Amino acid sequence: MADDATVDVKVFAIEMVYVPQGAFYAGDNATSTASFKQGSSDNDPWYIQNSDAISVTNAEADGFYYVSNSNAGENATGSEFTIPAEFPNGFDALYCMKYEISQGQYVDFLNTLTGTQDATRYMTETGYRHGTWGGSQGSRTSYRSDRACNYLSWMDGAAYADWAGLRPMTELEFEKACRGTGAQPTDYEYAWGNQTITAAVTISGTEDGTETITTSGANCCCNNQTFTGGDAGPGPLRCGIFATASSTRQESGASYYGVMEMSGNVWEQPVTLGNATGRAFTGTNGNGAIDASGNADAANWPSTDAVGAGFRGGDWCYGEYHDHVSARYYAAYSDMTYRSRHYGFRAVRTQ
């Protein structure tokens, strides 16, 4: 820009959580669907202790064995591949969005785009607590600013991450951000570290960012509940709604590092190990801009066909078994080019 140019400066704060460098376990003793384990007959989880390349084989024990089903990627019997050293395997430090992308954050993103870009990324879907989003850029008001944004396709989330200077997480980084460094996995554990889960049912107050959940012991948005109070109906809740000034990790539904709603609310969309396209991801951070058509254009990210991405962490609609940290039923699911009431997004950044 010229020295005498007139510019508008807008600042969009995104709260991030630091996840330090360190070894961690991926998998939970093979109890969750397609969980990582060390061998076909060895249910011990993977132990990621450096950022080196990882050789995955069909060994019986003491290695890195890939369990699969029809939606988790590589065949479970006989598949051998290498996870390159460039692939972010979770050992290195990263910053993770504390909350899933909210409706307010996504509208802020849309309002900075060109008309062509906006038309590509704008959502016409309604219902399931999503809002109507009527109006043109800068005048959209029919949404809940603090509520997690559903109906995000892979490329919607990727475009937001690129624009924000962030990047998609990988599914190994997902488990690290949930479980922490060195923590031994617990069978069927949720993001808050144990098996205790209670679905939210009752909302107290107007949903303006101050609403609370009054269901006793509730720490997750799951199981297709139709809410009583607030705006009612089924769908995602306000980001961080279970946390209070005195809540414990379990009560707030927080991960080891305090990342919120890693289990339930809306599906996370990390880069998968389940196919070669996902494994080619190198963790390039977004550069603060998207292409003229409204798509992310960072190097080596899964593209508009969404091959290389998948789902982790469950959502407001599906049952609790999808909310387990190590559950990988849809880890390489290829049906992510469209928008769904279940889909959300959360991004990360590395140095």
Tell me the three state secondary structure of residue 116.
helix
Tell me the Ramachandran region of residue 138: left when phi exceeds 0, alpha when psi lies from -120 to 50, beta otherwise: left
- Apex 281 CA angle, 279 and 286, nearest 5: 165
| Closest to 279 in 3D by CA, of 172, 144, 138, 149 | 172
Using pLDDT thresholds of 50, 70 and 90, give the confidence band for residue 135: confident
Average pLDDT over residues 205-228: 97
Distances (CA, A) of 60 to 35, 47, 57, 278, 293: 16, 16, 9, 25, 48
Residues 6 or more apart whose CB falls under 8 angstroms from that of 134 comprise 140, 141, 142
* pLDDT of 49 strictly over 80: yes
CA 84 and chain centroid, separation: 22
- C-beta neighbour count of 80 within 10 angstroms: 11
Give the whole-angstrom CA distance, residue 195 versus residue 218.
13
* pLDDT of 83 strictly over 80: yes
Residues 6 or more apart whose CB falls under 8 angstroms from that of 294 comprise 113, 116, 117, 118, 119, 120, 121, 159
Backbone phi and psi for residue 27, each to the nearest 5 degrees, phi listed first: 115, 160
Residues 6 or more apart whose CB falls under 8 angstroms from that of 40 comprise 58, 59, 60, 65, 77
Question: Which helix (H) or strand (E) element contains residue 157?
Answer: helix 154-163
pTM value is 0.95
Tokens of 91: 């050992």
Using pLDDT thresholds of 50, 70 and 90, give the confidence band for residue 335: low
Over residues 104-126, the pLDDT tens digits come to 999 999 999 999 999 999 998 88
Mean pLDDT of the chain: 93
Average pLDDT over residues 149-154: 96
Give the whole-angstrom CA distance, residue 130 versus residue 14.
21
Distances (CA, A) of 3 to 11, 20, 54: 21, 40, 50
Over residues 235-259, the pLDDT tens digits come to 999 999 999 999 999 999 999 999 9
Give the whole-angstrom CA distance, residue 121 versus residue 220.
29
Give the whole-angstrom CA distance, residue 346 versus residue 267.
9
Straight-line distance from the first to the last Cα atom of the chain, in angstroms, rounded to the nearest whole number = 27
Tokens of 228: 């009583």
Tell me the three state secondary structure of residue 147.
strand
Name all domains of the chain by residue range, CATH numbers in brackets. 98-351 (3.90.1580)
Give the whole-angstrom CA distance, residue 314 versus residue 91.
24
Give the whole-angstrom CA distance, residue 43 versus residue 125.
42
For tokens 């879907």, name the residue: 125
* pLDDT of 75 strictly over 70: no
